[in-house]
Amino acid sequence: MPLTSSEIVPGAVAYFDQAALAADDRVKKAQSPLPAKSHRPFLCVVVAGDTSAWVPLTHDAGEKGERIAIGTEWRSGGSPKWRTDGQYLDDGSATFVGPNAAFVAAAANEEPQKLGRPMVAPPGVQVVAKEVSRRGGRLP
């Protein structure tokens, strides 16, 4: 089932259509450009009322392994691939902030989450939020 507004909490992971996010004027876009991918995972870092902030994740550790790892001990739900493959914060300055309804719309074509919504535990969200702050990422 695609993302619902009740699932938008810090630590939720959803697969967004980047073109939909880019076209939505309600969403404050990443300060750093992202490589064009049709769908990719995003992590909800902060929720403030009906507004949330999301950051893109990647399977790539970076050329020098410099990206922040999302440890397997922090991951739950989702597919076995989500829980076991490498997952990293793509760029702490690349935040997307907007109304929750915009993110629900961007996830409309998300694959059904048969094993539950992919999630990152609070300690992992705190590590990512610290990096977002350090890198000057936009937050609500």
N-terminal to C-terminal alpha carbon distance within the chain: 27
pLDDT of residue 36: 60
Long-range contacts of 108-115 (CB under 8 A, 24+ apart): 108/2, 108/17, 108/20, 109/2, 109/17, 109/39, 110/2, 110/3, 110/14, 110/15, 110/16, 110/39, 111/15, 112/1, 112/2, 113/1, 113/77, 113/78, 114/79, 115/77, 115/78, 115/79, 115/80
pLDDT of residue 85: 93
pLDDT of residue 114: 82
18-65 pLDDT per residue, tens: 888 888 999 998 755 555 666 789 999 999 999 999 999 998 888 877
pLDDT of residue 33: 59
pLDDT of residue 134: 93
Give the pTM: 0.93
pLDDT of residue 111: 82
89-133 pLDDT per residue, tens: 988 888 999 999 999 999 998 887 788 999 999 999 999 999 999
58-87 pLDDT per residue, tens: 988 888 778 999 999 999 999 999 999 999
